[in-house]
């Protein structure tokens, strides 16, 4: 079993760190709000640290799941950052959805210190984290990935190396691009069914068994019909991710017209006060237009 630090105990990181402890690893956690780290140790055992550097000292692996590029730099760099406490040969695994730019930056800094950096963003939402069935898409050196994969499998249903550093983040962008269009399509279908006087549940029971079926349909249609939008990944975070997608598309020359449009629809949801609603709340925008 490995000695592991886990940085960031949000709705995803908290259960992910728990799976590592349940798998028998020696886990030290760090969270910007120390009371949350203390609560985790009371629930799971292990220990907590007051800085990323302290958490990372002597660890084989340091896993992170924080908010954005700036948060990731903050936990990695500086006198109290994790890199300052890591030893040569150790591996940093980043589960945050961030830009490929910051991934490349940290990969190079780590390499200069003899530290491997694997970008490993995740998909599956809060339920996936709690149930240990996340999809993990990775980029980085093959040897570092192969060492990290058995550890990551504590909370993964599938874990794959897609390519060199940054490939994991690029794959996560593909994931978010696909989700944006799916959720908007499902929202429009349910809205149309309601306007046509149809039973939305009956409609989904039928169409979900055909070509229209998707994870979003199976897991979100009922809560969308019932106006419940507290099921995980928030609109604010989705807009952060879609911003990364659109910025990268401008750099690569990719055309993302649907993604750009849905990003603006999510902006409308934010203006409605729904920034902390989950991403299926796109349907509320359509209802407001009635």
d(CA 211, CA 251): 33
Residues forming beta bridges with residue 92, ordered by sequence position: 62, 117
Tell me whether strands 134-139 and 156-163 are parallel, antiparallel or unpaired.
parallel
Residue 163 DSSP symbol:
E
Pairing mode of beta strands 122-123, 134-139: antiparallel
C-alpha dist (Å) from residue 149 to 59, 91, 138, 139:
16, 11, 9, 12
Q: Both tokens of residue 127?
A: 């339920």
Query: Cα separation of 236 and 69, whole Å?
Result: 15
Kindly list the catalytic residues: 172
- DSSP code of residue 213: -
């Amino acid at each position: 079993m490995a000695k592991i630090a886990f940085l960031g105990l949000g709705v995803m990181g908290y259960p992910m760190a728990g799976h590592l402890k349940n798998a028998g690893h020696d886990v030290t956690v760090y969270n910007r709000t120390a009371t949350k780290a203390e609560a985790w140790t009371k629930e799971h055992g292990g220990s907590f640290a007051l800085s990323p550097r302290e958490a990372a000292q002597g660890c084989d692996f340091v896993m992170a799941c924080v908010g954005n590029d700036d948060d990731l730099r903050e936990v990695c760099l500086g006198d109290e950052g994790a890199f300052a406490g890591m030893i040569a040969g150790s591996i940093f695994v980043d589960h945050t959805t961030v830009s490929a730019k910051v991934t490349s930056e940290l990969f190079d800094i780590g390499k200069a210190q003899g530290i491997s950096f694997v970008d490993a963003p995740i998909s599956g939402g809060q339920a996936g984290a709690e149930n240990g069935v996340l999809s993990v898409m990775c980029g980085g050196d093959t040897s570092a990935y192969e060492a990290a994969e058995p550890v990551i499998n504590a909370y993964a249903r599938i874990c794959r190396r897609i390519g060199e550093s940054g490939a994991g983040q690029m794959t996560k962008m593909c994931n978010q691009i696909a989700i944006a269009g799916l959720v908007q399509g499902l929202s429009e279908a349910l809205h149309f069914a309601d306007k046509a006087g149809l039973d939305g549940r009956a409609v989904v029971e039928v169409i979900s068994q055909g070509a229209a079926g998707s994870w979003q349909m199976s897991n979100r249609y009922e809560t969308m019909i019932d106006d419940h939008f507290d099921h995980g990944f928030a609109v604010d975070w989705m807009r952060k991710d879609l911003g990364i997608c659109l910025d990268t598309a401008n750099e690569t020359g990719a055309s993302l017209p649907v993604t750009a449009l849905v990003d603006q629809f999510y902006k409308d949801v934010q203006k409605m006060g729904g920034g902390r609603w989950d991403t299926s709340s796109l349907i509320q925008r359509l209802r407001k237009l009635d």
